[in-house]
Chain A
Amino acid sequence: MLNRSQLNLHVPVPQARPGDQPDFSGVVITEAGAARRPNAFATETELRDMPYGLIRVLGSDGRAVGPWNPQIDAAGLLRGLRAMVLTRIFDDRMLRAHRQGKTSFFMKSTGEEAIGAASSMALDRDDMCFPTYRMLSYLVARDYPLVNLVNQIYSNAADPLKGRQLPIMYSARDYGFYSISGNLGTQFGHAVGWAMASAYKHDNKIAIGYVGDGATAEGDFHSAMTFAAVYHAPVILCVTNNQWAISTFQGIAGGNETTFAARAVGYGLPGLRVDGNDFLAVYAAIEWAAERARNNLGATLIEFVTYRVAGHSTSDDPNKYRPAAEATEWPLGDPIKRLKEHLIAIGEWSETQHAELEAELKDLIRLATKEGEAIGTLGQSKPSTREMFEDVYKEPDWRLIEQRQELGV
């Protein structure tokens, strides 16, 4: 008889729960500048170590180091900083608006602002972003009118989406920002299809798609990766690993067994693992992947390692499932603080200027909010009820016309 052990079902649990000391010892972190920067034209087989490292540029002293430094000029860095600060203040303002009953729902992206802002700036205006609902900084970095965001969040008469969508499910075609859907992972494949279309038409545009760590478990992640690899689609596929999917830690999505970037290996795609709170590292990684895509070398998977500082949404209380101090203990720090310190370190910024910037952006947001509130908040103002029946089809059929008449609008 073999001496067999009993089987045991393994259910991953996070390192720390409420009341425990935060513990990030499981997160593999390397020194800034330590990751090699392969040629963007390297073959996939030459890149297989990359998903297990961590691309970082900004050191703890605020200096940019190593081969991934994207050499952005000070004006560019300040644009990125501004987009991130604007996003954070806007998030805070809209959370307050939710608490005041001005809207039904909101989701913050606190701590993840570098990912959207840097990728937005590293790509062209004509490239198309297939965002998740936590990518506001991508749009903000393209100077999307703040009042449009406010109107969408309030679902008021000036809502660009005509009151049809849950707050924060923006859509801004003219800004290269695809319509956000509540269904997780579904748009990863749309990014691949859009990129395939661009290649089919011999265009030079590329697509970028995002999913969170949790949504990598969806079947759409697998099909998107497969199609991207098979057709060499000019797409950058990104996983924002913010450690949490509502209450489930990234280990439940499979993150304890390997890195999310390493999923790329099985599909024959390059995978990069990047410090998501390092504006320069994000920018450099996107630039690298974009160069591959634009040169017909196909797709890249990038895992951005970050931390979801806020609750999942206004309907969530993270203190029920994780230590309250986790965000402050997060080893990759805060993306805004790190870029600010870098700008100060290179003599292009100061605490005074930063305080002035914050004040200026608060004013901007106050103005945009006032403008939106003058039109109305949720329940006080809404688009014409006729809009409920429009755009179901290009032209409404008899059912929709009859139902609109039945409602008397």
Chain B
Amino acid sequence: MATMNMIQAINSALDVMLGCDPDVLIFGEDVGYFGGVFRATDGLMAKHGLTRCFDTPISEGGIVGTAIGMGAYGLRPVVEIQFADYILPAYDQLVSEAARLRYRSAGQFWAPITVRSPYGGGIFGGQTHSSSPEAIFAHVSGLKTVIPSTPYDAKGLLIAAIEDDDPVIFLEPKRIYNGPFDGRHGQPVQPWSAHAASEVPTDYFKIPLGKAAIAREGVAVTVLAYGTMVHVALAAVEDSGIDAEIVDLRSIVPLDIETIVASVRKTRRCVIVHEASRFGGFGGELSSLLQERCFYHLEAPIERVAGWDTPYPHAFEWDYFPGASRVVTAMQRAIES
């Protein structure tokens, strides 16, 4: 065990996988010698060699396209897209190629690739360093989408993603790389070292994809969240005293439907929280699934707390970012109705 922030946990997962599987290699913009703009690949080239962790041209389509070809050969590439906002040039490769290769070739070829990408807001990143594109991947059959909320989960889930034989989009909430930011932007951010989930095994372990975690047990209302929003939801409980059950989805696809349904049938109320804009967001899918499966258990309409349906703005960071007070209001509505 060691105390790690999320970056160190990701770095450790990559280090472990480079060490135990010679078919794992890492590449992306600035990930080699420099160690990544967020330091996620710091030291890996020096330790494992020039061909195991290297820099690429600035070409997201080229990064993912070559990774798919390597996957077809039999390697297990882990590539980085510097910001999830810049994953779109690779969208064709992800949707038309990686996601469908196994299906269209009837299992002759597949793309066991992992695409890591920092995502999410709360950092004054403006329009192109803040967005949360998970819903556009959730809609694509053949892709898996994973989002950790703690250093422990980040390492365990990333190792599972790398070992998975399907293409995985691994979205890293960059706002919580260094500490569990809970939306209280006026206060100093606590470092991960003060949090229990910063105790991370230094060697190999994994957390299965498709398994949600109960971040807090409660009976008054279920809050479905992932990434940074797990910590915002915890702050909302602290602020309001509402005995909410907070479910950290961890994977968007595959989705742990059983845990979600069990929680909502228990609390009979549900608030869905995500940073991504509301319309067409993943919350819509969650809400619909729960309506189908928990209709007779529900005591109140399902609430959605999300980013507004605007591009992610700069000056309006805290007007846009769904903070604890909005979650509290939604929980109260769900409980009082």
Contact = CB atoms under 8 A, between A and B. Distances in A.
B140 to A, nearest CB: 10
Interface in B93-142: 93, 96-97, 100-110, 141-142
7 contacts: A178-B72, A181-B100, A190-B72, A192-B66, A194-B72, A200-B25, A391-B103
Contact of B166 (A173, A201, A394, A398): A394
B57 A226 contact: yes
Given A165-B104, A179-B104, A391-B106, A194 B257 contact: no
A197 B75 contact: yes
Interface of B: 25, 51, 56-57, 59, 61-62, 65-75, 77, 89, 92-93, 96-97, 100-110, 141-142, 144, 164-166, 210, 253-255, 257
B70 A197 contact: yes
Contact of A181 (B57, B97, B166): B97
Nearest to B108: A173
A193 B97 contact: no
A230 B57 contact: yes
A367 B89 CA distance: 47
Contacts of B254: 393, 397-398
Interface in A153-185: 160-162, 164-165, 169, 171-173, 178-179, 181-183
Contact of A164 (B62, B65, B106): B106
Contacts of A372: none
B151 to A, nearest CB: 27
Given A161-B105, A193-B65, A223 B59 contact: yes
Interface in A226-270: 226-227, 230
Given A161-B104, A392-B103, A393-B102, A193 B67 contact: yes
Contact of A391 (B69, B96, B107, B257): B107
A190 B62 CA distance: 9
Determine chain B's interface SS by DSSP, over half rule.
mixed
Contacts of B165: 394
Interface residues of A, number: 47
Given A164-B104, A189-B66, A226-B62, 6 more contacts: A183-B96, A192-B65, A391-B103, A392-B142, A393-B254, A397-B254
Contact of A200 (B75, B93, B106): B75
Given A161-B106, A178-B109, A197-B74, A191 B257 contact: no
Contacts of A172: 108
A69 interface: no
A182 B95 CA distance: 12
A197 B102 contact: no
A223 B57 contact: yes
B114 to A, nearest CB: 14
Interface in A84-140: 128, 130
A5 to B, nearest CB: 38
Contacts of A190: 65-66, 68-69, 72, 97
B102 A186 contact: no
A193 B70 contact: yes
A224 interface: yes
Nearest to B141: A392
A169 to B, nearest CB: 7
Contact of A220 (B61, B164, B210): B61
A277 interface: no
A194 B70 contact: yes
Contacts of A393: 102, 142, 144, 166, 254
Nearest to A398: B257
Contact of A227 (B62, B100, B166): B62
Contacts of B102: 391-394
Contacts of A173: 105, 108-109
A201 B73 CA distance: 10
A219 interface: yes
Nearest to B74: A197
B67 to A, nearest CB: 6
A129 B104 CA distance: 17
Contacts of A219: 61, 89
A333 B92 CA distance: 38
Q: Which 8 residue pairs across A and B have the least CB separation, nearest first?
A: A193-B69, A189-B65, A223-B62, A193-B66, A190-B69, A197-B73, A179-B105, A194-B69
A32 interface: no
Contacts of B144: 393
